[in-house]
Structure 1
């Protein structure tokens, strides 16, 4: 939503408001991505995070060159913002496929677990075969 506002903004104040919304939305992306990478294989968390960082650096280098160099200088800066807008839209679409897979075996009735307060988290429930 923030990128759309920034792209169609009639002036700098509206564009700054759009970028503020983008910043609020994107600020949670890195921690969520690192947490998801760490959950893929708990024994190899460092390897997963290192691989994720490779994509971060490549994306930063090529993304900024594409927006400022190829699109920004060749067409306009407003048109250059369409590239990150498309990337953000793709992330939003694909994000649903990366959610935690929940099955009936993952859920435990409240109060039946041995965790703090008697409740088990989903990860604790999955690790205990007869928790429910």
Structure 2
């Protein structure tokens, strides 16, 4: 996912679609699928016997709440950068690029947390 986000952040104009955006979408979706399945399997494998339903409910609730908070954080970063810039499309890209770099930072934090706390 991190490689996809980097490609999104580097796509500055519409002519970068084939070289940055499309490969970024492919890499991001592959990474998202792998991380979603990996998180689900890791969590459910460590669930106590008889508590799988509760663990699954907490897991998917955290997915929903986390994605909502993530969209809010990324949107606020983008809007706060873009409000200082002209309203043309090329200038507004700066806010979107800043939001993609912030997503890369969130990926880095999650990688460190996984390396620190996931044992199996």
1:62 equivalent in alignment to 2:45: no
Deviating beyond 3 angstroms after TM superposition, the runs of 4 or more aligned structure 1 residues are none
1:84 equivalent in alignment to 2:89: no
Quickly say closer, same or farther: Cα 1:19–1:89, change in 2 above 3 A.
Answer: farther
Mark the runs of 5 or more structure 2 residues left unpaired by the alignment: 82-94
Q: Which residue number in structure 1 is paired with residue 36 of structure 2?
A: 30
Candidates 82, 93, 98, aligned match of 2:118:
98
CA radius of gyration, larger in: 1
- What TM-score do the two structures reach when normalised by structure 1? 0.65
**Aligned CA-pair RMSD:** 1.7
Mark the runs of 5 or more structure 1 residues left unpaired by the alignment: 101-132
| Partners of 2:53 and 2:70 in 1: CA distance | 25
- What TM-score do the two structures reach when normalised by structure 2? 0.71
Deviation digits for residues 10-54 of structure 1 (CA, Å, limit 9, x no counterpart): 433312312221111111112221112212223211111111122
Number of aligned residue pairs: give it.
Answer: 99
